Amino acid sequence: MLEKIKKNRFLFEELVKRDFNKKYKRTILGIFWSVLSPLMMLLIMKIVFTNFFGRSIEHYTIYLFCGNLIFSFFSESTTQGMQALVANASIFTKVNVPKYIFVLSRNVQTLINFAITLVLLVVFCLIDSVFPTWKWIFLIYPVCLLVLFNIGVGMILSALHVFFKDMEYLWKIFTQLLMYLSAIFYQITSYSETVQYLFLANPVYLFIRYFRKIILDGVIPTPEFHMLMAFDTVFVLLIGFWMYKRYNHEFLYRL
Amino acid sequence: MAILEVNDVSIRYKTGDIRDLGLKDFVLKKIKGQYNVKEFWADRHITFSLDKGEMLGIIGSNGAGKSTLLKVVSGIMEPTEGRCIRRGNVAALLELASGFDGELTVKENAYLRGAMLGYTRQFMNEKYPEILAFSELKEFENRPFKQLSSGMKSRLAFSVASMVNPDILILDEVLSVGDGAFRKKSEAKMHEIINSGAATILVSHSLEQVRNLCTKILWLDKGRQIDFTNDVKGACDKYQAYLNGDRSYVESKTAIQ
Percent of chain A with pLDDT over 70: 97
- Enumerate residues 6+ apart whose C-beta is below 8 A from A62: A121, A124, A125, A128, A130, A215, A216
Q: How close, in Å, is residue B150 to chain A by CA atoms?
A: 16
What pLDDT, in 10s, does the model give residues A238-254? 999 999 998 887 888 77
Three-state SS string across A74-141, please?
A: HHHHHHHHHHHHHHCHHHHCCCCCCCHHHHHHHHHHHHHHHHHHHHHHHHHHHHCCCCCCHHHHHHHH
Using the Cβ of B95 and the Cβ atoms of chain A, whether some distance falls under 8 Å is answered with yes
ipTM: 0.77
Q: From CA B143, how far away is CA B125, in angstroms rounded?
A: 19
Higher pLDDT, A30 or B175: A30
Over residues A70-93, the mean pLDDT reads 91
Statement: residue A23 has pLDDT above 60: yes
Type and span of the H or E element at A12: helix A9-24
Q: What is the pLDDT of residue A181?
A: 93
Q: Could you give the CA distance from residue A16 to residue A78 in angstroms, rounded to a whole number?
A: 16
Residues in A closer than 8 angstroms to B98, CB to CB, are: 90, 94
Chain A CB within 8 Å of residue B2 CB: no
The answer to whether the CB atoms of B21 and A13 lie below 8 A apart is no
Around Cβ A62, how many Cβ atoms within 10 Å? 20
Q: What is the pLDDT of residue B143?
A: 87
Span B40-69, pLDDT tens digits: 888 888 888 888 888 888 988 887 888 888
Nearest to B13 among A10, A167, A253 (CB): A253
Q: Can you tell me whether residue B76 is helix, strand or coil?
A: coil
Predicted confidence at residue A68, as pLDDT, reads 93
Q: How far apart (Å, rounded) are the C-alpha atoms in residues B233 and B211?
A: 7
> Cα dist. A54→A45, B11, B59, B200 in Å?
10, 63, 74, 71
- What tens digit of pLDDT does each residue of A205-241 get? 999 999 999 999 999 999 999 999 999 999 999 999 9
The Cα-based distances of A104 to A147, A244, A252 in angstroms read 10, 13, 20
B84-90 average pLDDT score: 85
The whole-number pLDDT of residue B163 equals: 80
Model confidence band, residue B162 (pLDDT cutoffs 50, 70, 90): confident
User: What angle, rounded to 10 degrees, do the helices at B248-256 and B232-243 form?
Assistant: 110
Tens digits of per-residue pLDDT, A103-155? 999 999 899 889 999 999 999 999 998 899 999 999 999 999 999 999 999 99
Q: What is the DSSP string of A204-242?
A: HHHHHHHHHIIIII--PPPHHHHHHHHHHHHHHHHHHHH
Give the domain B4-89+166-256 fold. Answer: Rossmann fold (3.40.50)
Look over chain A and give the mean of its residue pLDDT values, rounded to a whole number: 89
Is residue A254 less than 8 Å (CB to CB) from chain B?
A: yes
- Which amino acid, A84? A
Helices (H) and strands (E) in chain B, counts: 9, 9
- What SS3 state is found at B45? strand
Q: Could you tell me the CA-to-CA distances from B46 to B3, B18, B86, B229 in Å, in that order?
A: 17, 26, 15, 13
Minimal Cα–Cα distance from A49 to chain B, Å? 36
Comparing alpha-carbon positions, the chain B residue that sits nearest to A21 is B104
d(CA B101, CA A203): 36
| Mean pLDDT for the stretch of residues A69-75 | 94
What integer pLDDT is reported at residue B79 of this predicted model? Answer: 86
Residue B177: the pLDDT is 60
B109 neighbors A26 (Cβ within 8 angstroms): no
Contact B219, B242 (CB under 8 A): no
pLDDT, tens digit, 9 for 90 and up, residues A171-180: 999 999 999 9
Task: Report yes or no: A91 at the B interface, CB cutoff 8 Å.
Answer: yes
B35 close contact with A: CB closer than 8 A: no
Residue A162 has pLDDT above 70, yes or no: yes
DSSP state, residue A200? T
The predicted structure's pLDDT at residue A27:
67
Helix (H) or strand (E) holding B202: strand B199-203
Pairwise CB contact (< 8 Å): B116 & A249: no
Nearest-by-CA chain A residue for B12:
A253
Q: Are B79 and B10 in contact (CB under 8 A)?
A: yes
d(CA A154, CA A152) in angstroms, rounded, equals 5
Does B199 score more than 90 pLDDT? no
pTM of the entire structure?
A: 0.86
- d(Cα B182, Cα B48) in Å, to the nearest integer? 32
- Quote the CA–CA distance of A53 and A10 in Å, as a whole number: 49
A70 by Cβ neighbours in 10 Å (0-12 / 13-18 / 19+) ranks as buried
Residue with the larger pLDDT of the pair A37 and A78: A78
